[in-house]
Every structure is written in structure tokens, then in C-alpha cells.
A = this chain, B = another copy of it.
Amino acid sequence: MKQFYEAKRVLVTGGLGFIGSNLAIRLLELGASVTVVDSLIAETGGNPFNIHPVQDHPNLSVRTVDVRDVLAMERLVRGKSVVFNLAGQVSHIDSMLDPFTDLEINCRSQLALLDTCRRVAPETKVVFASTRQIYGRVAEELLPVDERQAPSPVDVNGINKLAGERYHVLYNNVYGIHTSVLRLTNTYGPRMLVKNNRQTALGWLIRQALDDEQITVFGDGSQLRDFTYVDDVVEAFLMAGANDAANGQVFNVGAIEPVSLREVTELLIDVAGTGSYRLEPFPAERKVIDVGSIYIDDRKIRRVLKWRPRIELREGLGRTVAFYRAHRAEYWARRPEAEKTAGAA
């Protein structure tokens, strides 16, 4: 990795967000010259404190630019060897309330970025952050779901993220821009958004546990999910960016093993030493949007890129809890009303 990324000029879109900032920090460790771009739109994951450990690093440049600004993005893409493309509208609720903004960010801006690469930076490798949400509800007998499963997104965000994926693969196939797509599941770890539950349910659970509150788990909590520690996800991005075998490919990025929502809640409370939980029947409006168990088959990325997740859930939760105990003030914004749906879980 160090050999590949040392002195490479790299762009991270959404780079002040959860995964983007962890990736940027790691890239700087590997000797890359990193430009981070983030719109810092309110209520998204962007937080300037996320890059606090590297904020004075001589190889870091931070730009507050919206990916919808095509001309600004063109200047930023020019001359980069790798673009880690993590900027996106990630709220499923917002995508239904304002489908056009989601379309602008998750479709048009992706297409614009790729078209910019084609015109001004055809040698650039682009790694795109997608989501297992594009699979939608999956019948139990089809689990774990692999990349060949027909996607069935259940909201505007899922439809648009899927189109974004396909643009990436298309530009790889037609124009020879090198692109890879990673379908992430439930990524967790330091710097994840915990001020609301727009992105990840787990972030919200962590906040509640650290506030010593009682967490509500709907149903019997037996729904299975994959939880991937952010360092493992960062490693997947780095491998996809460095390896030509990833070009034009879509990869599921999963966890060590699927875990039930009840189990992860219990483990979190145990690790934190604070918080409690209770089971509660699904309210009708949550029942209709519940996707049941979903977990993925990621043998493809393990085979092609030799990636595998390494951080056990207990270990990852421990590091996460420690991070938020140390930096609570930077992440505990005024608590908004709990929203009707959880983000990525």
C-alpha cells in the first residue's frame, strides 16, 4: 500500500465525512498527497473536526466545495491519480422528501465527475462508495446476497445510488476510465455521525448508550446485519484504488459475520458499561419499512482483492466508544428529534 500511495495525488470527495476522513488520515500515513473536498452541508456527516489529527499536515489540502459545482470539481480532479468518491446524499428520508436534491447529488454529480475524468483526467482511478441498500428487501432464502442479485431499491436514494454505480461501471467499460464500486453495509467506528440517525442506526445507538439511556429495539431484535469497522472499509477502498483487478468491478464489502440487532445492542452496552435496552413491538409505520434480515456475501472482494475484515465487533465497538468519550463535545450536537427511520441498518 505504501509503495502504491506514496507521493500519489489523491482526491477524497466527502472527505470530511465519516469514512472519507478516516480514509484521508490513512492516506496521509501512507505518504499520499491528499485533497479533501466536502460541501459541509448541515445534517450530513461532514465535520471539520474529523480531520483534527492531520489538520496541519503539509500534504493535506481541504476544500469546501459542493460536488454539484462542476467547474470547481474539474479543477480538483485534474492531475489526481485516484479519486475516492464518497460524497453523496445518504439520507433515505430526505431522498423521499426532496427527491430532486438526491438526484442532483447522487446521479447528476456522479455523471459530471466521471465525464470530467473522461475529459481532463482519463488516467484517474475512481472508487465509488455505494451501499447494500440497493438490494432492498431480500427474501431469506437468497441470503447472504451477492453482487449478482438483481437490485431492488426501496427508495429514491437507492434508485439514484444504483444509477450512480452504473455510470461508474459504464465509464470504465466504454471510456476506459478505471472505476470500482464498493457496496458497503453498516460501517461503524470513530467519526461516524452520532448527532442524528440519518446515516447509521448504530451511531445513534452508540450515542444513546454513552448517554446511559434506554435503547429501543423494535421487534424481537433478531434481524441480522453486517457491521464493518471503518478501518476495514478504508482498507477495501485502498485496495480497490491500487489494484487493476478491481477495474469495472462491483464488490460487496461485508463483515466478519452477521450479527443480530439485539446482539450488537447488548455487546455495545457491555462494552460501554452504560445504557440499557428494551424490546418493543414495531410501530406500524416502521414495520412497513423494515427490511428484515439482510447480510451479504462478499467472497468476490476476498477472492479478487484478498481483502478481509479484521477487526472483531467487540474490539471495534471498544475503540469507537473510547473515541466518543474522548471527543464528545465535537460530536454531541444539540439533540434533534429522533427521526422516523434509521439510516443504514
Contact = CB atoms under 8 A, between A and B. Distances in A.
Interface of A: 96, 99-100, 103, 107-108, 111-112, 115, 148-151, 153-156, 159-160, 162-163, 166-167, 170, 173-174
29 contacts: A99-B111, A99-B115, A99-B167, A100-B108, A100-B111, A100-B112, A103-B107, A103-B108, A103-B111, A107-B107, A107-B163, A111-B156, A148-B150, A149-B150, A150-B150, A153-B166, A153-B170, A154-B170, A155-B170, A155-B174, A156-B167, A156-B170, A159-B163, A159-B166, A159-B167, A160-B163, A162-B163, A162-B166, A163-B163
Contacts of A167: 99, 156, 159
A163 B107 CA distance: 10
| A107, A166, A170, A173: most-surrounded residue (chain B CB, <10 A) | A166
Task: Tell me the number of copies of this protein.
Answer: 2
Chain A, interface SS category: helix
A171 B276 CA distance: 38
A285 to B, nearest CB: 12
Nearest to A166: B159
A249 to B, nearest CB: 14
Contacts of A108: 100, 103
A154 to B, nearest CB: 7
A168 to B, nearest CB: 10
A151 B148 CA distance: 10
A152 B112 CA distance: 21
A70 B170 CA distance: 29
A126 to B, nearest CB: 16
Contacts of A149: 150
A150 B146 CA distance: 12
Contacts of A170: 153-156, 159
Give 5 nearest A-B pairs by CB, closest first.
A150-B150, A159-B166, A163-B163, A99-B111, A159-B163
A88 to B, nearest CB: 15
A174 B100 contact: no
Contacts of A166: 153, 159, 162
Nearest to A102: B111
| A96, A154, A170: most-surrounded residue (chain B CB, <10 A) | A170
Given A103-B108, A159-B167, 10 more contacts: A99-B167, A100-B111, A107-B107, A111-B156, A153-B170, A154-B173, A155-B170, A156-B170, A159-B163, A159-B170
A339 B152 CA distance: 35
